[in-house]
């Protein structure tokens, strides 16, 4: 670890810890402070070389009463949040100094690095320029059912980070430094005295507002800053500037549109979220226009502009006042529509071009009159925002499960006395759908909505399509079909949009999630492309979504990763054959078992040719906050996507050798068998999950708007992938990330031929390198002793559960050993000292939270409904999530 580079991080962690300690003494007294410090020292001792037993820590916690447990949990949780702030600020500090954060696996690099490498590889400047100009990166913000930090605390944490930034200034005198320290202490005190737990479950509209807040507070500034930075780096390389409407990164959202398994997302909710997004966009542009009004006071203007404004000493202000008035009208009209009140007359902004036109007129006039420097200031920032955000802020995707569409069409065919669509075979369904899609007559009339066949569930599907028709295409993105398995699943959504009278249909995107669906993806899309009617519809491009969460839950991390890779290969080849552009939409999350990995590693580990200048990726929950919650970090992460997409397009990773593919299939077969032998065949696993992990308690907490389960039964099959990962992460067993994969690596290690081949793959194949690196990171966060303590406290004496727990821990030990044999490193993360330090500095604070959580779960199960215990449990969940830096 580079001590000179990272010394400021350690100093910040120490400063924040000291200030928290001062607040604890003041608010809770020396008694509680001394108890917390005693627990911390005991926790440090358990992690020391002498290795004091966990029982020493347990003996300190067990006698504490419920109220004290709550305060202890809050203290350790708060320290972990402060540590995260310090680490995030350190990343900002290094970005400003143009230094790479040593703890970032995958070697993320900016556009400057990539342009230099492309030049060295003699990529023609024309190719590079054309690729950059057509580059399309779309980040899809999604709600996270395990996002645990309240927005009011996030605001305070941002204030803390800002104050750390001010303290970095070298020109501060002692008085200024003392003043800043006092302000920092006040914010920490405010955070300590604020309830960190959300008491009511957020609604889908609340989640959407959370996404809007990220744009308002960070991305609104970060997007133009990022484009300005990229343009400067292109200039440094002597490359031409991109066109004025260049928008390499755009934003979409699932918040308020993702109704898959979430009955709280209705057509009414989607309509409200779309209107709120437009309102927020109008409000943000109004702030921009007010700034421009203040600045553009000059008299010189082009004849073109004066022909619009008439003679004036301040022609720009004349035009901008009109823009301001129209934006205010737009806001009033949207407010009235949201509140179902009469809408004011007048022409509000309904399309991007309406707002863009006067701003471009001002831009042309400034440049024509020798004021290009003025045009390149705030006006250019506003134009860049319009390129990215439009007047809708972001595009909203709709997601729904395939059987809901099937049920709607079944109701329609029964109403029309055509039979039962749900019972038809695939060929008959396709024939019916294609015929109706090409027919000019409407399929059903308005009377269908009052028919017996039109159940509330069917009506909701139709109402959603009606909202799509009402809102128009500008604020809408993709219609994603989860659990898509057949061509008719895609055609069904196209027909339902036609029935609703959608003039500009949303593009329909099948989501292939399970192992079987991924393996059948190419066949499904080939069948669709065999239809001339469909080929014509998607001639300009097709989007296909690859699921990470559910595929990993179905087949394990390694089996899912290989299935995703092969599906992308097959789809890339298929659409190249038909000369139709393909955009792959990656449904990634924050954790390894849900596809999470550093940006460059993720993109350069995809099959060669599969990126092709276009990428769409989900960014979820706490990942949004960590990557885009602050402007400086957001600029870095946005530019990472641009750079990595360019690199993956023009310098694609090497294709795997045939023997690598064969070996990968062997590993996968062993992995899937090992994973499913536990997850699907172990009779005690469901009981273990519900007894030893906080899976049951999670469903009681006000974490997200979506239910933790798709259905009411208690089986693993109904449990959503995110809570599945979250529950195992909380007890540090990390089971979804390594189960099966460890067995595959162990089996390969025992065969000298396979062992040598796997080492070669890890060294030379980017896809497999990414698998190994991410596995190493997650195994470094696993902890056998912590997992065993949960089991001892919550399942002690249950022979069946204890036997399963022992088996799982032995498998984890085997996975660690096999990985060490592969990498040649005895200690995990020997090659990543900063991450290792980050984990170790957190362990003395996460360990007490783990033991507290197990104790609280045990007490709550005996005293159901105890408010103090429930609050303390929620604090431990939040604290552990903060300590591990990921949840689900």
DSSP secondary structure, 698-718, as one string: HTTS---SS-SBSSSS-SGGG
Hey, what are 549's tokens? 């969460």
Residues 6+ away with beta carbon under 8 Å from 888: 144, 145, 146, 589, 590, 591, 594, 621, 721, 722, 723, 724, 725, 726, 729
- Rounded to whole angstroms, the Cα distance separating 593 from 739 reads 10
Which of the residues 144, 250, 498, 627 is marked catalytic? 144
Residue 518's Cβ-count burial label (10 Å; 0-12, 13-18, 19+) is buried
- Residue of 782, 764, 780, 786 whose CA lies nearest to 825: 780
Torsion of Cα atoms, 571 then 575 then 581 then 587, to 10°? -10
Report the SS3 class of residue 444.
coil
Angle at 602 between CA 598 and CA 605, to 5 degrees: 140
Q: Quote the longest CA-to-CA distance of the chain.
A: 90
- Rounded to whole angstroms, the Cα distance separating 34 from 79 reads 16
Angle at 103 between CA 114 and CA 630, to 5 degrees: 75
- Rounded to whole angstroms, the Cα distance separating 475 from 397 reads 9
- Rounded to whole angstroms, the Cα distance separating 866 from 864 reads 6
Hey, what are 615's tokens? 């990428």
Residue 635 DSSP code:
H
Residue 144 is among the residues annotated as catalytic for this protein = yes
- Rounded to whole angstroms, the Cα distance separating 409 from 511 reads 20
C-alpha to C-alpha distances, 698 to 80, 592, 724, 730, 885, nearest whole angstrom = 21, 21, 10, 11, 18
If one counts every other C-beta atom within 10 angstroms of the C-beta of residue 798, the result is: 17
Residue 553 is among the residues annotated as catalytic for this protein = yes
Angle at 332 between CA 331 and CA 335, to 5 degrees: 85
E-state strands within 368-514:
395-401, 476-482, 507-512
The strand pairing partners of 583, in sequence order, are 543
- Residue of 775, 749, 575 whose CA lies nearest to 663: 749
Element containing residue 627 per DSSP (H, E): helix 621-628
Residues 6+ away with beta carbon under 8 Å from 122: none
Which of the residues 553, 627, 749, 781 is marked catalytic? 553
Q: Is the CB of residue 819 less than 8 Å from the CB of residue 828?
A: yes
Q: What would you report as the CA-atom Rg of the chain, rounded to the nearest whole angstrom?
A: 28
Phi-psi region of 169 (alpha: psi -120 to 50; beta: other; left: phi over 0): beta
The residue written with tokens 């507290």 in the block is 852
State phi, psi for 300 to the nearest 5 degrees.
-65, 130
Handedness of CA 567, 568, 573, 576 (dihedral sign): positive
Q: Is the CB of residue 194 less than 8 Å from the CB of residue 155?
A: no
Hey, what are 631's tokens? 């402007």
- Rounded to whole angstroms, the Cα distance separating 682 from 410 reads 38
Hey, what are 280's tokens? 């927020």
Report the SS3 class of residue 250.
strand
Q: Is the CB of residue 342 less than 8 Å from the CB of residue 377?
A: no
Residue 144 DSSP code:
-
- Rounded to whole angstroms, the Cα distance separating 276 from 642 reads 29
What residues act catalytically? 144, 553
């Amino acid at each position: 670890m580079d001590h000179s580079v990272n010394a400021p991080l350690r100093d910040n962690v120490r400063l924040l810890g000291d200030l928290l300690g001062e607040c604890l003494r003041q608010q809770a007294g020396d008694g509680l402070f001394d108890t917390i410090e005693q627990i911390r020292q005991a926790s440090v001792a358990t992690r020391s070389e002498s290795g004091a037993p966990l029982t020493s820590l347990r003996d300190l916690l067990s006698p504490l009463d419920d109220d004290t447990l709550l305060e202890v949990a809050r203290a350790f949780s708060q320290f972990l949040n402060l540590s995260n702030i310090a680490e995030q600020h350190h990343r900002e500090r290094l970005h400003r100094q143009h230094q790479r954060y040593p703890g970032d696996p995958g070697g993320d690099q900016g556009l400057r690095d990539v342009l230099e490498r492309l030049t060295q590889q003699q990529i023609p400047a024309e190719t590079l320029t054309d690729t950059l100009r057509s580059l399309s990166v779309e980040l899809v913000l999604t709600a996270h059912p395990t996002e645990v930090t309240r927005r009011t605390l996030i605001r305070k944490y941002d204030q803390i980070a800002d104050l750390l930034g001010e303290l970095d200034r070298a020109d501060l005198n002692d008085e200024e430094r003392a003043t800043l320290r006092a302000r920092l202490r006040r914010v920490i005190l405010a955070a300590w005295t604020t309830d960190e737990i959300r008491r009511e479950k957020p609604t889908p509209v609340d989640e959407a507002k959370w996404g809007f807040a990220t744009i308002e507070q960070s991305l609104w500034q970060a997007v133009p800053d990022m484009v300005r930075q990229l343009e400067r780096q292109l200039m440094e390389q002597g490359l031409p500037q991109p066109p004025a409407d260049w928008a390499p990164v755009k934003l979409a959202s699932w918040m308020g549109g993702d109704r898959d398994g979430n009955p709280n997302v209705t057509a009414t909710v989607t309509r409200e979220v779309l209107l709120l997004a437009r309102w927020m966009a109008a409000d943000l542009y109004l702030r921009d226009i007010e700034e421009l009004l203040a600045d553009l006071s000059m008299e010189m203007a082009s004849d073109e502009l004066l022909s619009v404004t008439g003679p004036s000493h301040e022609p720009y202000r004349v035009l901008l006042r009109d823009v301001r008035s129209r934006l205010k009208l737009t806001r009033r009209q949207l407010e009235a529509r949201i509140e179902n009140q009469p809408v004011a007359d007048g022409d509000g902004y309904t399309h991007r071009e309406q707002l863009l036109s006067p701003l471009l007129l001002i831009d042309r006039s400034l440049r024509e009159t020798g004021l290009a420097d003025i045009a390149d200031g705030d006006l250019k920032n506003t134009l860049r925002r319009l390129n990215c955000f439009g007047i809708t802020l972001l595009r909203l995707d709709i997601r729904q499960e395939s059987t809901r569409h099937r049920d709607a069409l079944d109701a329609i065919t029964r109403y029309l006395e055509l039979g039962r669509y749900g019972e038809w075979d695939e060929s008959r369904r396709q024939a019916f759908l294609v015929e109706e899609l090409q027919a000019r007559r409407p399929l059903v009339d308005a009377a269908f909505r009052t028919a017996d066949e039109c159940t509330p569930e069917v009506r909701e599907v139709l109402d959603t399509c009606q909202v799509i028709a009402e809102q128009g295409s500008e604020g809408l993105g993709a219609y994603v079909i989860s659990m898509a398995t057949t061509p008719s699943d895609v055609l069904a959504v196209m027909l339902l949009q036609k029935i609703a009278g959608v003039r500009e249909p949303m593009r329909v995107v099948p989501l292939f999630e399970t192992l079987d669906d991924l393996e059948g993806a190419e066949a499904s899309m080939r069948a669709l492309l065999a239809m001339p009617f469909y080929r014509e519809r998607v001639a300009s491009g097709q989007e296909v979504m690859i699921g990470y969460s559910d595929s990993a839950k179905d087949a394990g991390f390694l089996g899912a990763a290989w299935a995703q890779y092969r599906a992308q290969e097959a789809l890339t080849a298929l659409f190249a054959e038909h000369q139709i552009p393909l955009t792959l939409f990656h449904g990634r999350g924050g954790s390894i078992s849900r596809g999470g990995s550093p940006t460059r590693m993720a993109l350069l580990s995809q099959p060669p040719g599969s990126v092709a200048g276009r990428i769409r990726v989900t960014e979820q929950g706490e990942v949004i906050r960590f990557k885009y919650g602050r402007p400086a970090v957001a600029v870095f992460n946005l530019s990472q996507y641009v750079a990595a997409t360019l690199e993956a397009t023009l310098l694609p990773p090497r294709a795997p050798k045939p023997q690598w593919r064969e070996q990968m299939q062997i590993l996968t077969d062993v992995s899937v068998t090992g994973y499913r032998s536990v997850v699907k065949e172990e009779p005690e696993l469901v009981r273990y999950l519900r007894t030893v992990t906080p899976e049951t308690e999670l469903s009681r907490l006000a974490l997200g708007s979506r239910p933790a389960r798709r259905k009411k039964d208690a089986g693993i099959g109904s449990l959503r992938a995110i809570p599945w990962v979250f529950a195992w992460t909380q007890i540090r067993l990390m089971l979804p990330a390594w189960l099966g994969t460890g067995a595959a690596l162990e089996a390969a290690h025992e065969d000298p031929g396979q062992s040598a081949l796997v080492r070669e793959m890890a060294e030379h194949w980017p896809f497999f390198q990414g698998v190994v690196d991410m596995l190493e990171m997650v195994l470094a966060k696993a902890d056998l002793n912590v997992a065993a303590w949960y089991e001892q406290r919550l399942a002690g004496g249950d022979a069946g559960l204890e036997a399963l727990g022992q088996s799982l821990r032995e498998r984890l030990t085997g996975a660690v050993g096999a990985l060490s044999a592969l990498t040649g490193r005895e200690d995990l993360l020997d090659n990543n000292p900063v991450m290792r330090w980050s984990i170790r500095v957190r362990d003395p604070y996460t360990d007490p939270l783990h033991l507290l959580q197990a104790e609280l779960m045990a007490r709550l199960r005996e005293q159901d409904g105890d408010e103090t215990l429930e609050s303390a449990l929620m604090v431990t969940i939040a604290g552990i999530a903060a300590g591990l830096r990921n949840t689900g």
